[in-house]
């Protein structure tokens, strides 16, 4: 591939909601061009979370290099800031090898951090978080959401009353700075000029019902593949507990509650599917604010072919499409 000296290096990004076909499109694209895939997924970073995160299978990962998968122990946390550092390093190395970096995933906060820079927010504070966890245990997360509404109504309006991780972080920022997180974000520093040109191609459904059907079918397949046993194995480790970010992932949280005897299998299935639909809705909301995105209808019979053609054109490799 040739490019002008002053032209930013193009980095194609296949984005979209869960179950939209991103992995299948990436696999097909890897047959057409020399790509290395960088995962943009906050759950696939964790080792041992395989079935419930729909990680690319072993055969695909053996055929196509994948990055930022299985890099963190589930007892630890991972952040958007670390993702930005890790992703930029991988992009640089992939470019140096003469390959094409292909970002694939649906964690849109990570994509925003990568492409727009980071907000000047304080680092996590263990003492403050512990105090908030105690409050939540006594009062429940909806009560803490009400507390957040009083100090940062703009942000609280965008957070669900049971979204423990985001409520905790927003209250933590307020307690550490005395300022609403939404105000700090509004004053965020502009991202520095980048040598990369990130090109978003989004897989979005023209019919939300089709995506919902796919989500249900995929979760049922995960159950058949052994998702409950996977969570049971993780629970055997004494340092793994339900409040960890890894165990708050969609599906894992509900299976954990089932294994605790809080909900039966049918309720676990229903709640997991509902939570996944809500996740997909949030992912679509993020996608819709992306400037200059190219939309592929993931419900179309030739959605994968369209996505491949769009990516090849971005790389000026359209002549490879039919080979």
φ/ψ bin of 98: left (φ > 0), alpha (ψ from -120 to 50), beta (otherwise): left
pTM of this structure: 0.80
Dist CA 256 CA 203 (whole Å): 31
Q: What pLDDT is recorded for position 3?
A: 44
> Model confidence over 9-22: pLDDT tens digits?
899 999 999 999 99
In the chain, the percentage of residues whose pLDDT exceeds 90 is: 78
pLDDT tens digits, 25-66: 999 999 999 999 999 999 999 999 999 999 999 999 999 999
Q: Does residue 4 register a pLDDT over 70?
A: no
Compare 250 and 3 and report the one with higher pLDDT. 250
Q: What is the pLDDT of residues 76-127, one digit of tens each?
A: 988 888 999 999 999 999 999 999 999 999 999 999 989 988 767 787 888 8
State yes or no: pLDDT of 277 exceeds 90: yes
CB-side neighbour CA atoms (13 Å) of 253: 19
CB within 8 Å of 155: residues ≥ 6 apart: 148, 170, 180, 181, 182
């Amino acid at each position: 591939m040739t490019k002008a000296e002053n032209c930013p290096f193009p980095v194609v990004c296949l984005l979209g909601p869960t179950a939209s076909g991103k992995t299948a499109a990436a696999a097909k694209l890897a047959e057409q061009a020399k790509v290395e895939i960088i995962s943009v997924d906050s759950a696939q970073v964790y080792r041992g979370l395989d079935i419930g995160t729909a990680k690319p299978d072993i055969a695909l990962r053996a055929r196509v290099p994948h990055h930022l998968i299985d890099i963190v122990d589930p007892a630890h946390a991972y952040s958007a800031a670390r993702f930005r550092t890790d992703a930029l390093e991988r992009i640089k190395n992939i470019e140096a090898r003469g390959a094409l970096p292909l970002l694939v995933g649906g964690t849109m906060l990570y994509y925003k951090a990568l492409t727009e820079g980071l907000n000047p927010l304080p680092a996590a504070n263990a003492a403050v978080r512990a105090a908030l966890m105690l409050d939540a245990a006594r009062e429940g997360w909806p009560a803490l959401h009400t507390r957040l509404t009083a100090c940062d109504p703009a942000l609280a309006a965008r957070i669900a009353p049971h979204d423990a991780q985001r409520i905790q972080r927003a209250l933590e920022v307020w307690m550490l700075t005395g300022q609403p997180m939404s105000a700090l974000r509004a004053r965020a520093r502009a991202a520095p000029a980048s040598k990369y040109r990130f090109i978003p191609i989004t897989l979005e459904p023209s019919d939300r019902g089709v995506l919902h059907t796919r989500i249900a079918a995929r979760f049922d397949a995960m159950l058949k593949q052994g998702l409950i046993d996977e969570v049971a194995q993780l629970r055997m480790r004494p340092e793994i507990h339900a409040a960890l970010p890894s165990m708050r992932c969609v599906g894992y949280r509900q299976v954990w509650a089932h294994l605790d005897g809080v909900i039966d299998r049918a309720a676990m299935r229903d709640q997991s599917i509902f939570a996944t639909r809500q996740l997909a809705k949030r992912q679509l909301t993020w996608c819709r604010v992306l400037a200059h995105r190219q939309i592929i209808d993931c419900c179309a019979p030739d959605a994968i072919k369209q996505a491949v053609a769009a990516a090849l054109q971005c790389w000026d490799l359209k002549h490879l499409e039919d080979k």
